[in-house]
Amino acid sequence: MNDWHVIKKNGWLPAVASCYLPEFPMEARSLLADWLWLEENKRVLCLEEESPTMQQHQCIYGFMQKMLIKLKQGIEELPMHEETSFCYKNLLQKTLSQMEVSFANDHLQLFRSVQESLRNEKHRLIELKLQSVVNKSDSQTMHEIPKKRCEILNEAVTNNIGQAKQICASIEHATRWCTSRWQEFHNMQLQLQQQLQAGTNGLTNEMQITTIRNQVQTEIHLTLEKCWRKLPTLSGILDELEKQILPELEAFKDEQRFVALGKIPEHNLKLIQPWYEDTYKCLCDLEKCLPEYSNVCQHFNLQYNPAVQTVLGRVTDLRNKMIISCLVIETQPNQILRKGTKFGPVILRVLLSTSSIIIDEKAIVAVLINEGQAAELYSDPEQSPVKAGAGDLKFGKGYPRVNKNVVEFKDLKLSEVKRKVKRGEKTVVEEKFCIYFKILVNMQGHSFTAWTTSLPLTITSHPNQEGEAWGTILWDNAFSEKGRQPFKVVDEVPCSSLIEMIDLKFKSLTAERRGLTADNKRYLKAKLFRNDIPANEMVSWKLFNKDPFIEVPKELRVDDTSSEDLPKKKNNLTFWEWVFSAWKLLSWCPEDLKLADQSLRQLWSQNKIIGFISEADMIEKLSEPNKVRPGTFLLRFSEKRPESIGIYYYNHRTQCKDERLVKLKPYTKKDLEQTPLQDRIIKNPCIAYLYDGEDKHKAFTRTSSRDHKTIDGYVDVGQQEYFSSSILERYKPGFPVQSISTPSPSSHSYLSYHSQTLSPGRSDNDNISNPPWHSSSTSNENSVSASALDDFYDQHLPEFMDMNEMVQSWIQECE
């Protein structure tokens, strides 16, 4: 049974009515239900590419052609013997005509509208199935389904717009009827006066004229009074529409700050646009009919003019407010820009009628302005900062591009920046800018200018400024207040609010929305305050992204010679830069999409990376009696090496407390590019179980690339990171030892780890000396004593948890 039949069977048609876009209404969906369910059509509807190939383009075009033909056939097959059927068929004919026009203008956009409507229907159907409660005694009974906030608001706005249109139509109809009725009486009066002048029935005609005049005037007065009584209702409806539409639009604009941090958007611009269009059209109609209504009232000496003028002023005021706020940035520019690098796309949308709007392409303006210019602009909107921009912003070839009410910018490039920050006041990434957009709109003969500004952005000149720049943006997006003077933001915020914003940033990494755990948040809170939490728990900007937090190791320091405002090397990182380095490591993905499984995002979403945890909590978790098996390990972000992740496991065989926690040297992104973390874990014999008890071979799978080449072209198999494979080959039971000459202690390079360069994955405490059981007395034996091997590994290699089992299995095989 297809989705549409399920909806009809369960009586869910009212619940899914709001899912369909105006370009693909529910009536069309109903007629095409069975046709859309065909397998070949479902495959076409699954095409999600933003830029389809030529073959996909042809496939979409053919699909839309067949859909319109099928819709036309379905309309022709509808019966017409009833009035209801006739009206329904007429409605479908109008829908088909609109779809044919949309198909001719932009068939791909119409296809996307069909896709989005069906996607909305699918999501709503899933929600309805989850929310439905079936009674055991009656499987058809379903409890009332609670509506979403957007559905309730949509119903209220649609209802108010409908009432306003009805009142407008009644006023317009009453004005025309009164004018027409008085004109009819006037014509009749002329005829009677002509008869009176002719001398026939003079007295009768004069009395008849008076009677008819009084009757017509009474009818007109009653009709005009009826409309006058609707004016207070109309004024109330306009107040409600202003409180519903404009705040919802402001909420969408304000929400963009948090969407940039990773929040899932709740407000939909495509839902607001039809409200905006219908309301604006209704206001334009009211501005035409109310003056005409007022003139008719004055003609008949009715004192309705004050009330009409009050409502007319309310209509004009709301219309002006809608014009001022009609330009919206649908897709914001990147908030971290790098000088000399292209960015985009940026999409502007005018929330007015798409059919009657004309945007002048030559008058489109996009200018970079600084904080001072933005403050002057909002204090005096008439002042245009076009000639005094803070940088040289260039468009891509062929842009900006206008499509009806949408303006698109692509390949924007910032070549020069005029900075106002003086040395010592702020760092360059603390200086905020925004992009000022202005367009000239012509609508039904009336021209007006609309402008808006983007979210605050910072401009970097070197990659190592990215972390500090993101700190500036996160602080501004999360803690700026509505109606502020650009770009003022508080200097202190509650620690809990700041941690929640960091959590939101980590949730944005994966579709599963895995964020920080309670332990992660507690650890970050302690690290933020340097283990000295104040009573008010307020965090200053200086503590968050100014004060040094960790010292960068010398081998990881980055030269910066591209900016005179920065030192040559970045020796210290702030708290936020350290947290951001962990986020950046998780977000890293190989350039080759075939190797995407090497990324750490999947491990993070599956909770296999603990991430932020203190060393004390780590030892406590790894040393729980009767809970943690030998070889248990966990993955944690390094405190001392930014943008790196380490493997930590507990050595149960040592009696020294200081040596129980074994820390393998953390892996940087460069290390993981050579050999992925999953492969390193599987190859490491020191570790066996993830902290949750899952075997490492089940928890981690080999990546798609089996041979990982280093930068110099050699294949890195990863074995030499943990132990020398020659040890196993030399002392494998059954191997003829006569061919092995006992080297002197000074030549044990294959046993001494300190003679090799310490690589990631090797413990700092590894030091294997000459084994006591390997001596010249054993030169005549053909095999090695198992007990001697056990003694050696128990004494010298306690952290090799699986080594005894490996050797024992080899001995059994040889026996």
pLDDT > 90? residue 314? yes
565 and 648 in a single domain? The answer is no
Report the largest interatomic distance among the alpha carbons of the chain, rounded to a whole angstrom.
157
d(CA 617, CA 595): 34
Is residue 193 assigned to a domain?
Answer: no
Measured CA distances, 123 to 31, 205, 595 (Å)? 21, 73, 31
d(CA 772, CA 650): 26
pLDDT > 50? residue 59? yes
- Contacts of 155-160 with C-beta under 8 Å, sequence gap 24+, read 156/240, 156/244, 157/241, 157/244, 157/245, 157/275, 158/275, 160/237, 160/240, 160/241, 160/244
- Do residues 410 and 344 make contact, with C-beta atoms less than 8 angstroms apart? yes
> Considering the entire predicted model, what is its pTM?
0.67
CATH of the domain at 96: 1.10.532.10
445 and 330 in a single domain? The answer is yes
Q: Of the candidates 444, 461, 478, which is a domain's last residue?
A: 461
> What percentage of the chain reaches a pLDDT higher than 90?
28
Q: Where are the alpha helices (DSSP H) in 460-564?
A: 466-479, 495-507, 518-528, 541-545
- Do residues 661 and 651 make contact, with C-beta atoms less than 8 angstroms apart? yes
Q: Is 808 exposed, middle or buried (0-12, 13-18, 19+ CB in 10 A)?
A: middle
What is residue 623's predicted lDDT score, i.e. its pLDDT?
A: 80
242 and 291 in a single domain? The answer is yes
3-class state of residue 152 by DSSP: helix
Residue 665, C-beta contacts closer than 8 angstroms, at least 6 positions apart:
646, 758, 759, 760, 761, 762, 764
- Residue 60: which pLDDT band, with cuts at 50, 70 and 90? confident
**Tokens representing 709?**
């080449």
CA torsion sign, 254 to 256 to 260 to 266? positive
pLDDT > 50? residue 315? yes
94 and 220 in a single domain? The answer is no
- Looking at residues 663-684, what average pLDDT do you find? 88
- Residue 736: which pLDDT band, with cuts at 50, 70 and 90? very low
What is residue 659's predicted lDDT score, i.e. its pLDDT?
A: 72
552 and 624 in a single domain? The answer is no
217 and 335 in a single domain? The answer is no
- Do residues 330 and 273 make contact, with C-beta atoms less than 8 angstroms apart? no
Q: What is the pLDDT of residues 211-224, one digit of tens each?
A: 888 888 899 999 99
CATH of the domain at 482: 1.10.238.10
Measured CA distances, 447 to 12, 323, 385 (Å)? 45, 11, 21
- Residue 376: which pLDDT band, with cuts at 50, 70 and 90? confident
Q: What is the pLDDT of residues 231-256, one digit of tens each?
A: 999 999 999 999 999 999 999 999 99
- Residue 416: which pLDDT band, with cuts at 50, 70 and 90? confident
For residue 245, which phi and psi values (nearest 5 degrees)?
-80, -50
Point out the least confidently predicted range of 78-92, 267-281, 335-349: 78-92
- Do residues 286 and 300 make contact, with C-beta atoms less than 8 angstroms apart? no
CATH of the domain at 352: 2.60.40.630
- Looking at residues 357-386, what average pLDDT do you find? 83
280 and 235 in a single domain? The answer is yes
For residue 55, which phi and psi values (nearest 5 degrees)?
-65, -40
362 and 418 in a single domain? The answer is yes
Q: Which helix (H) or strand (E) holds 359?
A: strand 357-359
What is residue 435's predicted lDDT score, i.e. its pLDDT?
A: 93
Q: First-to-last CA distance in the chain?
A: 65
Q: What is the pLDDT of residues 8-44, one digit of tens each?
A: 888 888 888 888 888 888 888 888 888 888 878 877 8
Is residue 140 assigned to a domain?
Answer: no
- Do residues 268 and 21 make contact, with C-beta atoms less than 8 angstroms apart? no
pLDDT > 60? residue 747? no
Residue 494, C-beta contacts closer than 8 angstroms, at least 6 positions apart:
537, 538, 539
- Residue 721: which pLDDT band, with cuts at 50, 70 and 90? very low
Residue 243 sits at the vertex; the CA angle it makes with 151 and 229, to the nearest 5 degrees, is 100
pLDDT > 50? residue 727? no
**Tokens representing 417?**
């920046």
611 and 741 in a single domain? The answer is yes
d(CA 776, CA 767): 23
Locus of tokens 């609707």 = 230
Q: What is the pLDDT of residues 488-527, one digit of tens each?
A: 999 999 999 999 999 999 998 888 889 999 999 999 999 9
3-class state of residue 139 by DSSP: coil
577 and 642 in a single domain? The answer is no
Is residue 173 assigned to a domain?
Answer: no
pLDDT > 90? residue 728? no
Residue 80 sits at the vertex; the CA angle it makes with 78 and 81, to the nearest 5 degrees, is 135
Is residue 595 assigned to a domain?
Answer: no
Q: Is the peptide bond before 534 cis (omega within 30 degrees of 0)?
A: no
On average, the pLDDT of the chain sits at 78
pLDDT > 90? residue 58? no
- Residue 198: which pLDDT band, with cuts at 50, 70 and 90? low
**Domain total of the chain:** 5
| Rg of the Cα atoms in the chain | 38
Q: Which of 467-481, 614-628, 658-672, 767-781 has the highest mean pLDDT?
A: 467-481
Residue type at 251 in one-letter notation: A
Is residue 144 assigned to a domain?
Answer: no
- Looking at residues 435-460, what average pLDDT do you find? 89
Residue 800 sits at the vertex; the CA angle it makes with 798 and 806, to the nearest 5 degrees, is 120
Count Cα neighbours of 754 within 13 Å in the Cβ-side half-sphere.
7
391 and 499 in a single domain? The answer is no
What is residue 141's predicted lDDT score, i.e. its pLDDT?
A: 36
Is residue 147 assigned to a domain?
Answer: no
Q: Of the candidates 304, 322, 340, which is a domain's last residue?
A: 322
Q: Which of 122-136, 455-469, 722-736 has the highest mean pLDDT?
A: 455-469
Q: Of the candidates 110, 131, 152, which is a domain's last residue?
A: 131
CATH of the domain at 652: 3.30.505.10
Is residue 616 assigned to a domain?
Answer: yes
* Structural domain boundaries, residue 43: 3-131
What is residue 749's predicted lDDT score, i.e. its pLDDT?
A: 34
Compute the residue count for the chain. 815
Is residue 145 assigned to a domain?
Answer: no
767 and 778 in a single domain? The answer is yes
Output the DSSP codes for 391-406: EEEEPPTT-SEEETTE
What is residue 76's predicted lDDT score, i.e. its pLDDT?
A: 81
